[in-house]
Chains A and B, each alone.
Chain A
Amino acid sequence: MACAHCGDACPDQPIRLSARPELPFCCQGCKAVYELLDQSNLCTYYRLDDKPGQKIPEVELPGRFDYLNSESVQSQLLAFRSEALNQLTFSIPQMHCASCIWLLENLFKLNPGITSSRVNFLRKELTVSYNPAATTLTEVAKLLASVGYEPQITLAELGAQPHRANRTLYYQLGLAAFAFGNVMLMAFPDYFSFTEQLQASFGQFFGWLSLGLSLPVLLVSARGFYRSAWQGLRHRYINLDFPISLGLTALFLTSLYDIATQHGPGYLDSFTGLVFFMLIGKWVQQRTYDALRFDRDFTSYFPVAVTRLTAGGREESVAVRELRAGQRIRVRHQEIIPADAVLLRGQGQIDYSFVTGESVPVARTSGEVVYAGGRQTGEALELEVVREVSQGYLTQLWNNPAFQKEEKATLETYANKVGRYFVAVTLVLALGAVAYWQWQGRPDMALRAFTSVLVIACPCALSLATPFALGAALRALGRCKLFLKNSGVVETLGRADTIVFDKTGTLTDVKRSAVEYAGPTLTLAQQQAIAAVIQHSTHPLSQRLAAELPASHLPVQEFREVAGQGLCGTVAGEEVRVGSAAFVGVGNPAPEAGTPATAESAATTDGLQSRVYVSVEGVQGCYLLRNVYREELRSILAELSRHYHLAVLSGDNDTEQDRLRELFGPQAELHFRQSPQQKLDYVAHLRQQGRTVIMVGDGLNDAGALQQADAGVALTDTLTNFSPACDAILDARSFGQLSTFLRFSQDCLQVVLGTFVLSFCYNGIGLGLAVQGKFTPIVSAILMPISSLSVMVFATLLVHYAAHRRQL
């Protein structure tokens, strides 16, 4: 049975509303949202789309949004502030359907203080206006979180300027289209012989009018190409925009000369047409990137504000950036430790899965150092900051010079490489033509040939091939849940020869770990009693176990979680204990008198397997949780090992070596006990050997390696919660298609090369005419648009065909 709110599978006895018993719910959170929406008459939400809701985490974190009251945070977040109205834009990655849009735009019905809210679905943004006298920012954020659309507020976003839609391109495109259409009309008399009369009497007028229409195109629409070419030159780098600028300039100046000296009508129709087509290419590129925007950095992980303790012991909320060494902070259950610090008070149970990939929390006692990036589970801690956020361990890793590769990677694309040779060849040809005609004693032809060569050599079709081919590729891959940062990544994926895997969380499937039970058989009632207790814990082992046991909603009294030890609680008068061997008292033959039902559990981690001891009603047993490799792993590896050099980097010990060796084959390199830095170094070493490396990892602990690799692919179970600085994000469910993705990328490169060949053919024909001085305006007007259009169509169709053939 599917939950009426989120569509997840319901437990055997679903939670039901007394008013609407026909609707099943999977958890209290989902039911609460339904009730809230029902009260405010907002149930249209459920009618617009089938089961549109987000699962609500059961754990409520009090004071989670308190930092939004802080003045420094508000001043950075709010785009507009006044007495009666505040406005800001939230990023809400969860929104996915029409129901989401509808609910988010009807927020004012839930909180009257909100005056309006508007969604930009493509950017996953919500712009909220509220009356600060009637409600607060914290209230708004809480409301969003309570209906399942928790806004993503991160340090990275705090520093960033509010997003401004890029309208310049639309103006440029509109202007170019306007000029293109009209200039083409003016050029018509020139195309046909029967209009010679017309051309003779109006040619001059048409010429100057076209010039007037083209001037804004040169000054406004084509500005982007000139700017980019100039920036490239300043960095002593010739990009594709340089020959384009050269060609456009030649085209315009020749036309100007022709018109001024009454030689002919000039090439202005080609000029405006080219600018128009190339801007369309740019627009396609921009739209593709807008839809797949995930360019965030490590600061996205850190909390925006922390609870600082003043000298008097008072709590205050401050921005993380204001945190200084020596200050005391309080970190509560489920909060991330923002900076390297010394533990002063409290039992630390720190989940470093974010840093090391290991999901079992590490126990820390007072006096010990805890590192930034860990998440506290359990009681609140008091910490003294030893290093500021910007100097912490994680930050140092992220600041490694390896992370500055981006600039280079995007510039070194095929098109730009080709562009460089283009300039050289063009100049040689142009000068050759000049020399030939001079030698022939025809200086007028020399000038004509020179400018024609520059014009025809303008690699406009080349500049269109990449955005259209790779844009189509990005969309095809995006449909299969592989999101690439930019089109350059497709090229890298296609060229790669080495794939490095991280182990935990990448090769193994944390969610699917096998659960085995050892000990006397438990009755259903006993299992339900255990389930009732562990539902109260957020410990990953508890959650995994809870998924395995029958669901139960028995009330639990006297629930207690002893950090690092286990849980205990009383269910229906019987005490249940879950946790470590010592906590549960395994080996103790007789349960203590007076506690007839004692369930103890001990979580012991041994390589890939964890033990949880339980005791209920005097019965003691042990659950064995074993991480298993992803289902598709074997077939994937068999396919990949034929074409690629494979390697595994693991932070764990080498107990799994034999299994991995068997999976990966004799050639693969297996490395164990690797620190994040070692992983990074290993990838750097491979690259020095001239290999093109794809790193497949899962998170921050291999973030350095992900970034160091030519293409870092982050594998994730929850796309919305994940935002590392990698080059691509792959949904774990699509892991099985990895080799298909790689082959598709290779296909796409072939398509790009194919379009290059096509556009070279056009250029070859054009150049042949140009050096002979036969490149007339009419030839230009036919050849140029045909070459641009056919390259666009060819690239898009072939990529779609390749995707279809690979069944993507």
Chain B
Amino acid sequence: MEIIFVLISISLCVAMLFLLAFVWAVRSHQYDDTYTPAVRVLFDDQEENAQPRGQR
């Protein structure tokens, strides 16, 4: 049953990784504004497509 010690330490490490990922997300402003990015992602670049390709 000593395998439990190993299993638990592994699972804790994985969980810790997720916690760190969450902290990173908060630090990189991802929770500052939870509305605008959802709208922003729907804008497409129609205007630029309308221009001749050579200019891009």
Are both chains from one complex?
yes
Q: State the A residues within 8 Å of B (CB).
A: 41-42, 44, 48, 98, 101-102, 105, 118-123, 165, 167, 170-171, 174-175, 178, 181-182, 185, 198, 201-202, 205, 209
The 5 tightest CB contacts between A and B, nearest first, are A165-B32, A121-B36, A120-B33, A174-B22, A178-B19
Given A167-B26, A174-B22, A178-B19, verify A122-B46 contact (CB < 8 Å).
no
Smallest Cβ-Cβ distance to B46: which chain A residue: A44
Give the chain A neighbours of B5 by CB distance below 8 A.
Answer: 205
Give the chain A neighbours of B4 by CB distance below 8 A.
Answer: 198, 202
B6 within 8 A of partner (CB): no
Given A101-B39, A105-B40, verify A121-B33 contact (CB < 8 Å).
yes
Smallest CB separation, A769 vs chain B (Å): 31
Give the chain A neighbours of B43 by CB distance below 8 A.
Answer: 44, 48, 102
Smallest CB separation, A46 vs chain B (Å): 12
The answer to whether A209 and B33 have CB atoms under 8 Å apart is no
Q: List 22 A-B contacts (CB under 8 A).
A: A41-B50, A42-B47, A44-B46, A48-B43, A98-B42, A120-B36, A121-B35, A121-B36, A122-B33, A122-B35, A122-B36, A123-B33, A165-B29, A165-B31, A167-B26, A167-B32, A174-B26, A178-B15, A181-B15, A182-B12, A201-B1, A209-B8
Smallest CB separation, B29 vs chain A (Å): 8
The answer to whether A44 and B47 have CB atoms under 8 Å apart is yes
Of the listed residues B33, B42, B46, the one surrounded by the most CB atoms of chain A closer than 10 A to its CB is B33
Beyond the given A167-B26, A170-B31, please list 19 additional residue pairs across the A-B interface where CB-CB is below 8 A: A98-B39, A102-B43, A120-B36, A121-B36, A121-B39, A122-B34, A122-B35, A165-B29, A167-B27, A167-B32, A171-B23, A171-B26, A174-B22, A174-B23, A178-B16, A178-B19, A182-B15, A198-B1, A198-B4
Smallest CB separation, B15 vs chain A (Å): 6
Give the chain B neighbours of A105 by CB distance below 8 A.
Answer: 40
Q: State the B residues within 8 Å of A (CB).
A: 1, 4-5, 8, 11-12, 15-16, 18-19, 22-23, 26-27, 29, 31-36, 39-40, 42-43, 46-47, 50
Give the chain A neighbours of B47 by CB distance below 8 A.
Answer: 41-42, 44
Give the chain B neighbours of A118 by CB distance below 8 A.
Answer: 36
Given A41-B47, A182-B12, verify A170-B26 contact (CB < 8 Å).
yes
Main secondary structure of the interface of A (DSSP, over half): helix
The answer to whether A167 and B31 have CB atoms under 8 Å apart is yes
Give the chain A neighbours of B26 by CB distance below 8 A.
Answer: 167, 170-171, 174
A174–B25 CA distance with the chains assembled, in angstroms: 11
Smallest CB separation, A91 vs chain B (Å): 15
Give the chain A neighbours of B31 by CB distance below 8 A.
Answer: 165, 167, 170
Of the listed residues A118, A174, A202, the one surrounded by the most CB atoms of chain B closer than 10 A to its CB is A174
Given A42-B47, A165-B32, verify A175-B42 contact (CB < 8 Å).
no
A779–B24 CA distance with the chains assembled, in angstroms: 37
Give the chain B neighbours of A165 by CB distance below 8 A.
Answer: 29, 31-33
A205–B7 CA distance with the chains assembled, in angstroms: 13
Smallest CB separation, A71 vs chain B (Å): 30
Smallest CB separation, B49 vs chain A (Å): 11
The answer to whether A101 and B36 have CB atoms under 8 Å apart is yes
A118–B16 CA distance with the chains assembled, in angstroms: 33
Q: Which of A44, A123, A174, A202 contacts B19 (CB 8 A)?
A: A174
A98–B46 CA distance with the chains assembled, in angstroms: 16
Q: Which of B8, B16, B19, B40 contacts A101 (CB 8 A)?
A: B40
Smallest CB separation, B12 vs chain A (Å): 7
Smallest CB separation, B14 vs chain A (Å): 11
Smallest CB separation, A285 vs chain B (Å): 16
Give the chain B neighbours of A171 by CB distance below 8 A.
Answer: 23, 26
Given A167-B26, A170-B26, A181-B15, verify A120-B32 contact (CB < 8 Å).
yes
A165–B29 CA distance with the chains assembled, in angstroms: 9
Give the chain B neighbours of A120 by CB distance below 8 A.
Answer: 32-33, 36
Give the chain B neighbours of A44 by CB distance below 8 A.
Answer: 43, 46-47
Given A41-B50, A98-B42, verify A175-B33 contact (CB < 8 Å).
no
A165–B28 CA distance with the chains assembled, in angstroms: 12
A209–B12 CA distance with the chains assembled, in angstroms: 10
Smallest Cβ-Cβ distance to A102: which chain B residue: B43
Smallest CB separation, B16 vs chain A (Å): 8
Smallest Cβ-Cβ distance to B8: which chain A residue: A209
A44–B43 CA distance with the chains assembled, in angstroms: 9
A178–B5 CA distance with the chains assembled, in angstroms: 19
